[in-house]
């Protein structure tokens, strides 16, 4: 074997294999769409998520009956956790 064949077998072929493996592992990162970064313009319609899509427009019964009255506080708890 001469020097060129030795370099081909022991250097270039392993480097080519490593290069192909690196490209295959990095391919999804390069093919992905760009991510949103804070401060960039948001060109998309807002999407509101709810656990109950059927009740999005419905108002609670207590709020529908008492329009001018003070809301009744039903929430309990706090820092001590007296639920």
For residue 38, being part of any structural domain is answered with no
Kindly state the helix (H) or strand (E) to which residue 30 belongs, with its residue range.
helix 13-31
Which pLDDT belongs to residue 19?
95
- Looking at the domain assignment, is residue 37 inside a domain? no
Residue 10 lies in a domain: yes
Each residue's pLDDT tens digit in the chain (83 positions)? 788 888 888 999 999 999 999 999 988 887 888 888 888 888 888 777 777 777 666 666 654 455 566 767 766 655 655 55
44 located within any domain: no
Distance CA 59, CA 71 (A): 13
The shares of helix, strand and coil residues in the chain, as percent rounded to the nearest 5, are: 45, 0, 55
Question: What is the pLDDT at residue 79?
Answer: 65
Residue 13, domain extent: 1-31
Q: CB–CB of 49/42 below 8 Å?
A: no
- Map tokens 């956790």 to a residue: 81
The position carrying tokens 């998520």 is: 49
Residue 11 placed within a domain? yes
Q: Number of folded domains in the chain?
A: 1
pTM of structure: 0.39
């Amino acid at each position: 074997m001469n020097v060129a064949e030795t370099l081909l077998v022991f250097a270039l072929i392993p480097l080519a294999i490593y290069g192909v493996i690196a490209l295959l592992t990095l391919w999804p990162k390069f093919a992905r769409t760009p991510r949103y970064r804070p401060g960039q313009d948001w060109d998309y319609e807002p999407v509101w998520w709810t656990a109950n899509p059927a009740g999005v427009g419905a108002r609670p019964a207590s709020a529908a009956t008492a329009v001018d009255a003070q809301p009744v506080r039903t929430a309990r708890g706090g820092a001590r956790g007296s639920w």
